[in-house]
Structures are given as structure tokens and as C-alpha cells.
Amino acid sequence: MSDAASAIAIEDLRFRWQPTRDWVLDIPRLAIARGESVFLAGPSGSGKTSLLSLITGIAQPTEGCVRILDTRIDHLRGAARDRFRADHFGIVFQLFNLLPYLSVLENVLLSCEFSAARAQRAARRSGTPAGEAVRLLGRLGLTDPQLHRRPATELSVGQQQRVAAARALIGSPPVIVADEPTSALDADLRTEFVTLLLQEVVEAGSALLFVSHDRQLAAAFDREVDLRRFAPAPTPP
């Protein structure tokens, strides 16, 4: 697999949050192809969150490089990195994905506020960004138009996670990053959510990096990567 075909390509990456702290990650090489769905497994403390911060350009690698679609995100300057993230990433958190003071629809459209490119892509698909938001919410099982106007916090946790997925998917960003999005859901909802998410990711043609410690879900993905492979060697005392 050449780097040109990669959605995410990591080389010789080493990372620690502060110079005095221990290394958190040591990844000689990790590549995720465009459109590929990858299940990233690892217990807590294995550096999952750090890796996601590095991939999305919120943190900078201490050594090595992170390439997203041929762009060295670690070489971009602050504001350019933020713009790059807005254009190329859809992100779903574990919990509390939504702004409580916005409606469901406004929450989904928030992605288009920070990225004109995504707003355009969404409009190309459904006429307007709002039309695309309604379409995605419908695909994820939230069809009731009255529900779209309600404050996000009035929804159940399962519904909130689907709204978050719609927000990540709108405007078809090339990379979707999901940080344990199912951990607050019960078993039935978990499988349903993952199935819906994968369907939409395939349709959008995005790569998906799905982080979870729930290995039962791994079978639904193209590939599984265990983060423990990249644990740095313990520093000698």
C-alpha cells in the first residue's frame, strides 16, 4: 500500500505530552487506506486518545510524521491545521458530543460552519446543507422533523450518538474518527449504531478509525489494529 493511497499514514512517530514525562506512543509505521474501516483496540492508558489527538492535529508529534491524504498535518501552522481538521475530519466522542443550547439540526450543521468545503459537498448532495443534515439524520433513524428542532439535550443517549455521527458524516469528510462512541450504549444499541455508522461511512467513501475496547465489535471492520503493539519500551530506571 503506497502512502499516496493512504487516508492516514504515520511514520517513526514518538510522542509524549511533556519532555519530562514518559513516552506514550512509539509507532514505526501505521497506514489506513482511503475508504478503509479500522478497529483500533487497546485498554485504557494505551495511548488511544493521544493517537487521535495526533492524527487530528490537536497535538503535535514529538518525533516522526503524520500524513493525512498526502498532507503533513504536523507541518501545518495553527490556524491552517484547524481549517484542515474542519475540512477533512469527522469526529465522534465517547459522550457529550452535542452543544446543549443548539437544536439537533443546528448541531449537525455546526460542521459546515467551520468548513466551507464540507458545506459545499453537503449542498451538492442534497441541495442545501440543511437538506443533507435531514437526509443523514433520517438514514440514522431520526426521521421526525419535530425532533430535529428540539434541543439536543432532550434526546436519549443513543439518539445523541446518532446525531453526533450525522455531524461527523455531513459533507463526506475523508476521515472519520470515533473515540469509543458506543461505550455509553447498551449491547443492542451498540451493534445497531456500528452497523449504521459503517453503512454511511461506506456510502460517503470515508476512512473510519474506530477506537474501542469492546472487541466484539471488531468483526464488522475491514481490519483490527491493537495499540499495545505500539507501546514504547519502558524507560530504564
Partner 1 sequence: MSMLTLARKSVWNRRSTAALVVLSIALSVVLLLGVERLRTDARASFTDTLSGTDLIVGARGSAVNLLLYSVFRIGDATNNVSWRSYLALAARPEVAWTVPLSLGDSHRGFRVLGTEVSYFEHYRHAGGTPLRFAAGAVFDDVFDAVLGADVARRYGYTVGDTLTLAHGAGKASFAEHADKPFVVRGILAPTGTPVDRTVHVGLRGIEAIHADWFAGGPVPGLRLSAAEVRARALTPKSVTAVMVGLKSKTQLFNVQRAINEFSDEPLMAILPALTTQQLWDLLAVGEHVLLGVAALVVVCGLLAMMTALMTGLNERRREMAILRALGARYVQIFGLVLGEALLLTVAGIGLGLLLLQALLLLVLPLLNARVGLSIAGWPPSWHELTLLGAVLLAGFIAGLVPALRVYRYSLADGLTIKL
Question: Which residues contribute to the site for partner 1 (CB under 8 A)?
Answer: 49-50, 52-53, 56, 58-59, 78-79, 82-83, 85-87, 89, 91, 93-102, 106, 109-111, 113-115, 167, 179
For the bound state, the minimum distance from the C-beta of residue 160 to partner 1, rounded and expressed in Å, comes to: 12
Nearer to partner 1, 80 or 187 (CB): 80
Nearer to partner 1, 62 or 191 (CB): 62
For the bound state, the minimum distance from the C-beta of residue 86 to partner 1, rounded and expressed in Å, comes to: 2
Residue 6 pairs with which residues in a beta bridge? 33
Nearer to partner 1, 26 or 180 (CB): 180
Contacts of 43 (CB under 8 A, 6+ apart): 213, 228
Nearer to partner 1, 113 or 154 (CB): 113
Paired sense of beta strands 6-15 and 63-68, if any? antiparallel
For the bound state, the minimum distance from the C-beta of residue 188 to partner 1, rounded and expressed in Å, comes to: 25
Question: Buried b vs exposed e over 87-109: b needs ≥16 C-beta within 10 Å?
Answer: bbbbbbbbeebbeeeebbbbbbb
For the bound state, the minimum distance from the C-beta of residue 70 to partner 1, rounded and expressed in Å, comes to: 19
Nearer to partner 1, 5 or 130 (CB): 130
For the bound state, the minimum distance from the C-beta of residue 106 to partner 1, rounded and expressed in Å, comes to: 7
Nearer to partner 1, 95 or 198 (CB): 95
For the bound state, the minimum distance from the C-beta of residue 59 to partner 1, rounded and expressed in Å, comes to: 5
